Chain A
Amino acid sequence: MKRNPFPLIVLFLVLGFLYLPIIVLTANSFNLSRFGGTWEGFTLNWYQQLIQDNQVWVAFVNSLLIAAGATLASCVLGTTAALALHKWNTRLQNVHYGLIYTPLVVPEILMGISLLLTFTAIGMDCGLHTIFLAHTTFCVSYVTMTVLSRLQDFDDSLIEAARDLGANAWVSFLKVQLPLLLPGIISGGLLAFTLSIDDFVITFFVAGPGSSTLPLMIYSMIKHSPKLPVINCLSTVMLLLTFVLVLASRAFQNIKQQKTPQRG
């Protein structure tokens, strides 16, 4: 029987579109030519310039701080919101669900402008803290949705069993419910982290003096910087970081899954 070659072609096309740009970008970060059109030889010069570029590192640290802070805050807020939504099915909770859901569909530019208007209205100077608040605002929705979907498969009788066996509400949450929800929280957190670290539109509006994040910096470099390849290097480093992060989270989940049956 002859196999249909069509799926294979589609597969390669899709893989090509997804990964070819990344390969081109990585290759260009080693290209001697400053303009990237032609291959002129191998160099590590751009990486050296990247290491020496103080401003890039300041922006990088800003991005990491905001992403870590927003992830942490949105994980806590998002999980509690999901628990509340799961536990009570009242009309008020329907409104709550709607409110949480809205940021997922509201255009980013609207959110950016409205946040900026709010901050200026209450006289808050823009800076890292306003970016942190803004990012937490949209990350909460994503974490809530992820945890909520995890809660849908959650067997509530487990908590009842724990309470039966003498655990109080706090202990049953901490020792039973939280560990079971953890993979959901972590994947929600990872989603929040990646969304926060590459957000441009909202950050553009709410950033103030001295709080440039990496995306803001890269955007202003693209048009005017005489050292474009440094951006390629930076993107390559960020890609590597992302891969490490994804692999780490996969490994973490595997460990969890292996452990659970032994305990259970």
Chain B
Amino acid sequence: MKHILPLVAFTFIVATLTGCGPHKPTLHLYTWSDYIDPKLVSAFEQANNCRVKIDTFDSNETMYAKMLAGSGRYDVIFPSSYQVRLMAQRDMLQPLDKSKLPNVTAHFSPAYARIILNPEMVFNVPYAITFTGIAYRKDKVGAAEISWASFDNPAFKGRSSLLNDFRETIGAALKTLGYSLNTTNSAELQKACDVVLRWKKNIAKFDNEQYKTGIASGEFVLGQGYSGDVAQVMLEDPANIGFAFPEEGFSAACDEMVIPKGATEVALAHAFINFMYDPDNAAKNIQFICAIMPNEHAIAKLPERYRSNPAIIPTLDILSRAEVLRDLGPANALYSKIWDTIKATE
């Protein structure tokens, strides 16, 4: 018995490592955590007689490092728009075969083309768009109009938070002043710096995670936040929590589906992207991730409580105020310098 046990264990390990059983093609996805409805994944597996394996990353940079190092042989990955550009420049992506993506052609909503960084969609298909706005407690803000200027409002002193993200936070200040989110004009940036410093005196903290807790419990009244995150909290307490798209303008960001060079299941990858753009599937997925896929016919299929929630599906009027964040390359340093000043000033 003593000699058999290691032998059995060894055989088991070897068998698992080499992958026994009937050989099915496997599609490898590399995406954000909980970013796809698992029911759709099993439906895709059945429809295409394949297996889908999902690995997750926590940031674009993590994913990028992995792909650059050559240890990520994935078939479909889900980077943000600016990262798509960088990867395309580095020749890491395959051009998509549009003839294999009839659903994308049929259902993509052109209304969103303006806020997508790569609307030509040579390498990418938009997966989900989120916005940065303000989460607020309907029961505690009274009649006040919620906009970026609310962070100056003494009524909310010590009960609001801004994001701890230099592009987003300085971007909000730039919008308040009527400038572009992507400006590289140092005079404009200096004015924005002064605005954020003024806000800093009035807010409780800069924070990316805990603000949701604060808003949910009512401890905080206002919080700059991402629409996808806030929509999840709103669904739990729709009576008290709202999401405002500031009058002055706000940022939009998009995660996309791309096929990297070196993908092994290219045909299956196309089938997967096409599958996700089927209006029924897309509608299910929008409900799961609480962020919009720019799929015209899927939006019509959403249940009322999702369709009427602007944090998930903003109206075209709201959309017209959105501006997409671009990667500024070397000019990023201008922003991080100002951010350092803001962080260092008491």
A205–B55 CB distance below 8 A: no
Q: How many residues of B contact A (CB 8 A)?
A: 39
A212 to B71, CA, bound (A): 12
Contact flags (1/0) for A196-235 with B, using CB distance below 8 Å? 0000000001111111100011011111111100000000
Q: Which of B26-34, B112-120, B296-304, B323-331 contacts A (4 or more CB under 8 A)?
A: B26-34
Asked if residues B17 and A132 are in contact (CB atoms below 8 Å), the reply is yes
Q: Which residue from chain A places its CB closest to the CB of B212 in the assembled complex? A: A35
Is B232 on the interface with A (CB-CB < 8 A)? yes
Q: Contact flags (1/0) for B211-248 with A, using CB distance below 8 Å?
A: 01110110000000000010010001000000000000
Which residue of A is nearest B213, CB measured? A35
Q: Is A72's CB within 8 Å of the partner chain B?
A: yes
B58 within 8 Å of A (CB atoms): yes
Name A210's contact: one of B10, B53, B236, B290 (CB within 8 Å): B53
Residues in chain B near residue A65, CB distance under 8 A: 13, 16-17
Look across to chain B and name the residue whose beta carbon is closest to the beta carbon of A69. Answer: B13
A132's closest neighbor in chain B, by CB? B17
Rounded to whole angstroms, the CA-CA distance of A53 and B33 in the bound complex is 12
B28 interface neighbour in A54, A209, A227, Cβ under 8 Å:
A209
Interface SS majority for chain B: mixed
Residue A139 lies at the interface, judged by CB distance under 8 Å to chain B: no
Asked if A150 is at the interface (CB within 8 A of a chain B CB), the reply is no
Q: Please report the C-alpha to C-alpha distance between residue A34 and residue B34 in the assembled complex, in whole angstroms.
A: 15
Bound Cα distance A224, B290 (Å): 13
Interface size on A, residues (CB 8 A): 42
Whether B34 and A225, one on each chain, are in contact in the complex, defined by CB atoms closer than 8 angstroms, is yes
* Known contacts A209-B72, A223-B58, A224-B32; A34 and B236 CB within 8 A of each other: yes
Determine the chain B residues whose CB is within 8 A of the CB of A208 once the complex forms. Answer: 71-73
Could you tell me if B217 and A224 are in contact, using CB atoms closer than 8 angstroms?
A: no
Instruction: List chain A residues, Cβ under 8 A from B316.
Output: none
Instruction: Judge if B123 is at the interface, Cβ distance under 8 Å.
Output: no
Contact indicator B17/A226 (Cβ below 8 Å): no
Q: Mark B23-52, 1 if CB is under 8 A from A, else 0.
A: 000101010111100100000000000000
Binds B, one of A14-22, A120-128, A158-166: A120-128
Nearest B-chain residue to A130, judged by Cβ? B71
Chain A, 86-108, CB within 8 A of any chain B CB? none
CB neighbours of B57 from chain A (8 A): 220
Task: Judge if B344 is at the interface, Cβ distance under 8 Å.
Answer: no
> Which listed residue (A58, A69, A128, A205) contacts B69, Cβ 8 A?
A205
Q: Is the CB of A55 within 8 A of B69?
A: no
A129 CA to B10 CA, complexed, in Å? 13
- In the complex, A68→B318 CA distance in Å? 55
- 15 additional A-B pairs beyond A37-B213, A225-B34, beta carbons within 8 Å, are A37-B214, A65-B16, A116-B69, A125-B73, A126-B73, A132-B13, A208-B71, A208-B73, A209-B28, A209-B53, A209-B74, A217-B56, A220-B57, A222-B58, A227-B34
Which residues on A are within 8 Å of B, measured CB to CB? 33-38, 53-55, 58, 65, 68-69, 72, 116, 119-120, 125-126, 128-130, 132, 205-212, 216-217, 219-227
Please list 20 pairs of residues, one from A and one from B, whose beta carbons are closer than 8 Å in the complex, sorted by A's number.
A34-B236, A35-B217, A38-B217, A55-B38, A68-B9, A69-B13, A72-B6, A72-B13, A126-B73, A128-B17, A129-B17, A209-B30, A209-B55, A211-B55, A216-B55, A219-B58, A220-B33, A220-B58, A223-B33, A223-B209
